[in-house]
Structure 1
């Protein structure tokens, strides 16, 4: 990917963001994805490649840090139990339910193993709210819906990577499966990422306040976003959770500082400007790379897996929101339906798919790539484009 490609992608992003001034009628990332799919047919862009390292090391830390740093602390305190339940128990139950459905229905026609079905499910469990959060906030009178969708996504990105790593290792016969070893690894990787993010975030937050130059403060925040991720990955724990916690720590420290407005305004200005640039490049390149993995003869099965992913998520969420007293009190059935529909597959799912493509081998390898990327693209396009009319139908004029 050359500098000419990057500048061109940023230009396209500028045009799309400029058109979508209200952030209501169509989600920008999906339009950028569709542009990337169109560009994939042009020979000039044949050299544009996307790898899991590019997503994990270039794009994801910044996107996660921005979301965590700007996430309201009062909402984090209010819903943290909900986020933890949805991103751990909810994520594992959804992955298992979806794998059973895929194996029982899709497996009949394509003869895929249960392990292959579980691998597909582990790739499809992460959610990416970047396409819908602004729409949820502007189209409903319940901001808590957007908060739950965004908070769940920030944490389940990290936990889903642990699930994928274990399942992919079994798939490629690199390791045997054990429930206890899985839970132990799950806790170690997750809690280790949280610990590194908290420590690194606390130390660098103090340094930011010690500096008098705003430019240097921005530089340190970049080190915090990417450094926490890379440091955690170096020690074999979750870089995603480390970056998220580091973002929370910076926001918390700024809130407790007497001159918080001065620091927050300048940091917000930088990160809010860099965010659309990252989104523009990432989603266009995702469209270019992803379409090359699709085999059109599997289209019907892609649709089936996409539908099953919605059914599995809906069933698990309905159970959780009925069992947990606080959730049952504050959310109605229509809220659960909207949260289900807002669980769009995106950046992390594509990164995990590319990781599987480059690092793992086994039976059904090409089939898994085709089915999974097709389900991801369908999710991004159908769910993102329909979320606004859905919210208008369900919540327009509602004061609940």
Structure 2
């Protein structure tokens, strides 16, 4: 395991150097170096042979989501809530429906059921927040555009996972689910996930108030995320671990930010030395310096987790089998790209007709469309497919192929669009700042 750890850290470091020196997107750097390493020195990153491989993958998911949940502010959710709801829920549901209709209308080589198609499209519609954020970090973009794309990536994961686990897989297993059942499942999952997340986040806030070091607070934040995720995923409860984690961390962040806002103008009061001299009632939950340090630490762990998942992707890919499904991979990639582009175009029209949604012009539409990079969650969902599933090999290779195409095509396209409209985005930023 030590050699695997060293190999992954080396790949991650080199990928960051390539991003900083040559503007090569982080996901492309990780994937390229991983594929090269696995082709010529497979013994360095032989993860799939580990007996706890599937459990390791699931363990990484909360780490990947934590940074975006921590950086996502409640005031942004209030301002852009309608837009994010459309992008991360309505658009995903409509995309799955469109995919099902198109497949039943055009595909005759395979006998797919509705459950199979829901599972397939849930896997290829889940986006990768880390990949998008790493690309955005290289450019100056309007804050509202970043909120829309990162908010969509964050909450889109919850929607895709709910569709996959609670509707797609049960239908594949022979369960009968009606429209009423789907409504009940959604209400139960949403309500249960939100309640669990809020309770865990509030408890974490109380515990955080008792601790006064960066390391202790880091452990509490990790515990809050994992506790919310694990409790929600318990068989007896069985709601959305992803949504519970998001709610828990955003609840914790809400109380921290509200507390910090009391002393935002006085840097001396929020220093660690001053905090030690204050009474327990006057003392802040944490300080800005400590929470910023923890955000940086969690961001590193998320990068490492994402790199580990991309290593997994390289191991899962079998080139011979991948080429056997070339038609299916390219077809599904094109279908999902067109559907996503149309959904974002519809959103653009809605935004122009509504005063409650930030206006999405053609530049923003292109960025939103190309922000649909697939990644870690898609890989994890592939591993949830039952061994008895007749199309498991096909679904695995097709999803892996779509992830690869999205990483290279979308990431390169995203950089090209942002670079081409660089000056226009600067004007968007100036206009945004002037209206605030």
What TM-score comes out, normalization by structure 1 length? 0.90
Give the equivalent residue in structure 2 for 1:125: 125
Once residues 148 and 253 of structure 2 are traced to their aligned partners in structure 1, the CA distance between those partners, rounded to angstroms, is 19
Once residues 250 and 78 of structure 2 are traced to their aligned partners in structure 1, the CA distance between those partners, rounded to angstroms, is 11
* Residues 124 and 135 of structure 1: CA distance in aligned 2, closer, same or farther (over 3 Å): same
Give the equivalent residue in structure 2 for 1:205: 205
Once residues 293 and 222 of structure 1 are traced to their aligned partners in structure 2, the CA distance between those partners, rounded to angstroms, is 40
Maintained 8 Å contact 2:66/2:302: no
Q: In the alignment, which of 280, 288, 292 is matched to residue 261 of structure 1?
A: 288
Once residues 305 and 395 of structure 2 are traced to their aligned partners in structure 1, the CA distance between those partners, rounded to angstroms, is 28
1:335 aligns with 2:367: no
Aligned-pair CA distance for 1:347: 1.1
Aligned-pair CA distance for 1:163: 0.8
Aligned-pair CA distance for 1:10: 0.9
* 1:343 match: secondary structure: coil
Count of aligned positions: 392
Aligned-pair CA distance for 1:267: 1.8
- Structure 2: tracts of 5 or more residues without a match: 261-269, 271-286, 429-436
* 1:256 match: secondary structure: helix
Q: Per-residue displacement from partner, 1:19-78 (whole Å, max 9, x unpaired)?
A: 3226x8222122212222233334415742185532322x11012111111224432221
* Residues 214 and 141 of structure 1: CA distance in aligned 2, closer, same or farther (over 3 Å): closer
Give the equivalent residue in structure 2 for 1:284: 311
Question: Which shows bigger deviation, 72-81 or 179-188?
Answer: 72-81
Once residues 274 and 141 of structure 1 are traced to their aligned partners in structure 2, the CA distance between those partners, rounded to angstroms, is 25
1:28 aligns with 2:55: no
Q: In the alignment, which of 328, 344, 352 is matched to residue 301 of structure 1?
A: 328
Over aligned residues, Cα RMSD in angstroms? 2.4
Question: Map of 1:5-24 to 2, 5 A cutoff?
Answer: 5-21=4-20
Question: Map of 1:27-106 to 2, 5 A cutoff?
Answer: 27-41=25-39, 42-45=41-44, 47-49=46-48, 51-57=53-59, 59-105=60-106
Query: For the pair shown, which has the larger CA radius of gyration, 1 or 2?
Result: 2
Once residues 141 and 212 of structure 1 are traced to their aligned partners in structure 2, the CA distance between those partners, rounded to angstroms, is 35
Question: Which shows bigger deviation, 33-42 or 303-312?
Answer: 33-42
Once residues 406 and 100 of structure 2 are traced to their aligned partners in structure 1, the CA distance between those partners, rounded to angstroms, is 17
Once residues 10 and 112 of structure 1 are traced to their aligned partners in structure 2, the CA distance between those partners, rounded to angstroms, is 43
Q: Per-residue displacement from partner, 1:247-274 (whole Å, max 9, x unpaired)?
A: 2122212112243313323322422343
- Structure 1: tracts of 5 or more residues without a match: none
Give the equivalent residue in structure 2 for 1:353: 382
Maintained 8 Å contact 2:70/2:295: no
Higher relative contact order (CA 8 A, sep 6+): 1
Q: Per-residue displacement from partner, 1:94-120 (whole Å, max 9, x unpaired)?
A: 111123223433x14x33425343332
Q: In the alignment, which of 237, 240, 261 is matched to residue 239 of structure 2?
A: 237
Maintained 8 Å contact 2:366/2:417: no
Maintained 8 Å contact 1:293/1:369: no
Maintained 8 Å contact 1:65/1:246: no
Give the equivalent residue in structure 1 for 2:145: 145
